[in-house]
Structure 1
Amino acid sequence: MKQQTPFVQFRNVQKSYDGETLIVKDLNLNIRRGEFLTLLGPSGSGKTTSLMMLAGFETATSGEITLGGKLLNNQPPHKRDIGMVFQNYALFPHMTVAENVAFPLFVRRLAKADIQEKVQEALAMIKMDSFGHRYPAQLSGGQQQRVALARALVFEPKLVLMDEPLGALDKQLREHMQMEIKHLHEKFGLTIVYVTHDQSEALTMSDRVAVFHKGEIQQIDSPKALYEEPKNAFVAQFIGENNRLQGVVESIDNAHCLVRMPDGSQIKALSVNVAGRGEQTTLSIRPERILLGAASQNCDNIVQGQVKEFIYLGDHIRLCIHTCGSSDFIVKMPVSQFDPSIKIGDKLSIGWQKDHVRALDMLD
């Protein structure tokens, strides 16, 4: 199959504000047409700066950014044909909903009749046909965000950028809007680049997620691959809940290695990112992959632990266990599988398969 040319390309892009510290380091990133790509990372990781360079609100210190094969570096924002949705909505308070949505069309000097038609279509798309005469102050946060979305889409841009667009909404509304944006993406085949620090939001909405840390992409992959197959300790720690155990590599045998824990126990693990024998490593194990008591007896790895606490969370139980030198080892299991006779202070066996634990670099 012929390789499709990337729709958006960052080639060797760097950004520094003071000429010394690089906020974005040598960024190489290809974005496909019609893709929903999320830039995910903690504050200061470079994700928003990368988005702002693509939008034209920041200038790359070096490197090239292209859209549809055309160089963007010297193009002003309004000539890039890019829709933008901000966290604070950025609606004009003195304009009605209809006037806000129409603004990008006025700037592009469309005919009045065409503007009216496109505004109506955009408001219908976000199910706010009857709100055109209202002002932003008369709308809820979710409604304002919908209007900001309609304004970004009304001129049919090649690309839509979203910078923490749901950050100001409460949890329930945020989750609802996540699905609305996802459905719009699928319905209209939009190309969306989305910035968030919320990993559950990134996993819910994206085709691919680029995990940023210290100005570099640590891993770019599908949500499932990021969760199940993190390439390093930072990604494992940042995506989803994760147990981290520190140990020393005893031996390496093809795809697996044997790691000695501080308490002397030995654990077989997938050898993903290991320096070598005698080196320190971080073991990564998801809490839902762990079995307790009799259920652990057929596991590749079986260790002993002591229950410190457990919390009932409706659909599952969360246990905190002291094991392998860690005092905050977490186990999550469905309520239906939990043995109610287990009490705080109990000592029990804990097990998991060798392919469910990954030996990674040390977390800095």
Structure 2
Amino acid sequence: MMQHHDPADAMVSFRNVRKSYDGRHLVVKDLNLDIRRGEFLTMLGPSGSGKTTTLMMLAGFEAASGGEIVLAGQRIDHVPPYRRDIGMVFQNYALFPHLTVAQNVAFPLKVRRQPKAEVEARVAAALSMVRLDGFADRRPSQLSGGQQQRVALARALVFEPKLVLMDEPLGALDKQLRENMQYEIKQLHERLGVTMVYVTHDQSEALTMSDRVAVFEDGVIQQLATPRDLYERPQNAFVARFIGENNRLPGRVQAVEGGTCRVEVNGACLRATTVGALRAGERVILSLRPERVALAPAPGSLPNMASGRVLELIYVGDHLRVHLRVFEEDGFIVKLANTAGLPDIRIDDEIAVGWSADDCLVLSQSASEH
């Protein structure tokens, strides 16, 4: 992905956008965001973080309380939703039950008064695109949940909008189907090159599907980055905790030495990677992914070593989860891939753990955690 881009290449720009429902409390605070032409951008966050409100302001179903929203170079703050040239897919499909599949998909074209022959050709192409050839004459009630969601997708894409918005579109589907649909939507995006903005609270979905992810919390984008950067280099403790699983060790900075620093955790001195500006004496959280911890490494082989007592062992199929008490903290987890020769570990064993400074991030506690 290009890191430097021209704002003129933005399909959507939010400029200092605010939203308040009561005039006092802001659910979206001074939002600035450029969504690139042709990218798949996901807005991710817990409920109440502002992600859905942001999507609804872009769709035109909510009015911004301040700031500007620009689509393809035109301000759209006062343009009604049906004139914004945006396709929408919601969690509850919103199909018309009394219309056939073909009539549902044709609806946006009829509203735009397209000629009949073109409508038929486009509907057939859209149904074929979502692999529903042969379903044109069925009613929504005769379809499974996954098929209904594909009809909703075809309807959102049939009029070739500049932008497609999706709000938790797979929330009602079971795990297997959900994963298949994630893959299908991603394939469609790559084939069509349309700009897609997707809202979810499911972080694995966001990591799987997106070019970039905007992590929302408390009405603010905490970090905007590629899935890999979010996972490997979260910018604060909220993002680290929300994206994937991690071990969190509270400590105090002893010394900052360029890209790394020394942190005191319960009497031990650990080496870790600095994220953001830190000062000696500051209280911080060390963040460490469970799959990056080595169990019983050779003595002195890693810069950070500790001793842990095994509290619990959980077999999860593709990996073994080992829960340990480390530095007087009970929640320390190591994930061991289930390859040949899993070590023989028992509850109450004392065992060494170790990790590199690269895999351990020093994060300042975000405002919401003080």
TM-score by length of 2: 0.96
* Match in the other structure for 1:301: 304
Alignment of 1:120 onto 2:128: no
Coordinate RMSD, CA, aligned = 1.3
Gaps of 5+ in 2: none
Query: Matched residue of 2:63: which SS?
Result: coil
Instruction: After superposition, give the CA deviation of every residue in 1:23-53 in whole Å (9 maximum; x if it has no partner).
Output: 0000000011110000000000000000000
Among candidates 340, 344, 352, match of residue 347 of structure 2:
344
Q: Aligned residue for 1:322?
A: 325
SS in 2 for 1:173: helix
Label 1:353 to 1:182 Cα distance change in 2 as closer, same or farther (>3 A).
same
Give distance in 2, aligned partners of 1:324 and 1:252.
Answer: 22
Asked if 2 retains the 8 angstrom alpha-carbon contact of 1:317 and 1:338, the reply is: no
**What is the CA deviation profile of residues 299-323 of structure 1, one whole-angstrom value per residue up to 9, with x for unaligned ones?**
1101111111111112211100100
Spell out structure 1 runs of 4+ moving beyond 4 A.
none
SS in 1 for 2:164: strand
**Structure 1 residues 215-230: aligned runs within 5 Å:** 215-230=219-234
Matches within 5 A, 1:217-256: 217-256=221-260
Equivalent in the alignment of 1:311: 314
CA distance in 1, matches of 2:58, 2:50: 13
Contact 1:296 1:351 in 2 (8 A): no
Aligned to 1:288: 291
CA contact (8 A) 2:256 2:278 kept: no
**Where do 5+ consecutive residues of structure 1 fail to align?**
none
The verdict on how the C-alpha distance between 1:149 and 1:259 changes in structure 2, with shifts beyond 3 A counting, is same
1:28 maps to: 32
Relative distance call for 1:296 and 1:354 in structure 2 (3 A) is farther
AA in 2 matched with 1:357: C
What is the identity, as a one-letter code, of the residue corresponding to 1:307?
V
More off after superposition, 167-176 vs 353-362: 353-362
Shift, 1:274, TM fit: 5.3
SS in 1 for 2:9: coil
CA contact (8 A) 1:320 1:329 kept: yes
Q: Which amino acid aligns with 2:166?
A: M
**Whole-angstrom CA distance in 1 between matches of 2:290 and 2:9:** 40
Equivalent in the alignment of 1:332: 335
Q: 2:184 matched to which residue of 1? A: 180
Q: Does the aligned pair in 1 maintain the 2:17–2:67 contact within 8 Å?
A: yes
- Could you tell me whether the CA contact under 8 Å between 2:320 and 2:337 is conserved in 1? yes
Structure 2 residue matching 1:332: 3-state secondary structure: strand
Aligned match of 2:137: 133
Contact 1:100 1:151 in 2 (8 A): yes
Distance (Å, rounded) in 2 between the aligned partners of 1:31 and 1:171: 29
Aligned partners of 1:163 and 1:337: how far apart in 2? 42
1:142 is aligned, of 142, 146, 163, to 146
1:57 aligns with 61
SS of 2:352's equivalent in the other structure is strand
| Count of residue pairs the alignment pairs up | 363
CA distance in 2, matches of 1:289, 1:274: 24
Bigger drift between 6-15 and 289-298 goes to 289-298
Percent identity of the aligned residues? 60
Which sits farther off after the overlay, 279-288 or 329-338?
329-338
